[in-house]
Amino acid sequence: MKKACAFKTIQNIYWDNWGRYVVAFPKGGVYVGTVHYNDSGEIQAITARSPIYDVKDDVDMECIEILEITEEL
């Protein structure tokens, strides 16, 4: 199951860009993503599109605060 979400970054989120770590989501921003649940109904991962690189990938859940989880996708 997947649901839309809004989250705030509490730390910069870095992604690997061909061996170089770059900021994909700056600290303090509010972004839209997708919550992915496992079969037990627990959050397994959150994915989002970087506002800087226009690439969608996993977001480090230790670096965010989930503000809202909305409708099922």
pLDDT band at 73 (very low <50, low <70, confident <90, very high): confident
- The whole-angstrom separation of Cα 9 and Cα 11 is 5
64: nearest Cα among 34, 25, 37, 38: 25
pLDDT band at 72 (very low <50, low <70, confident <90, very high): confident
Count the residues in the chain. Answer: 73
As a whole number, mean pLDDT of residues 59-64 equals: 97
As a whole number, mean pLDDT of residues 14-35 equals: 97
- What contacts 19, CB < 8 A, 6 or more positions away? none
Q: Is 16 exposed, middle or buried (0-12, 13-18, 19+ CB in 10 A)?
A: exposed
Split into its structural domains, the chain has a count of 1
pLDDT at res. 5: 98
pLDDT band at 71 (very low <50, low <70, confident <90, very high): confident
Q: Which domain holds residue 12?
A: 2-72
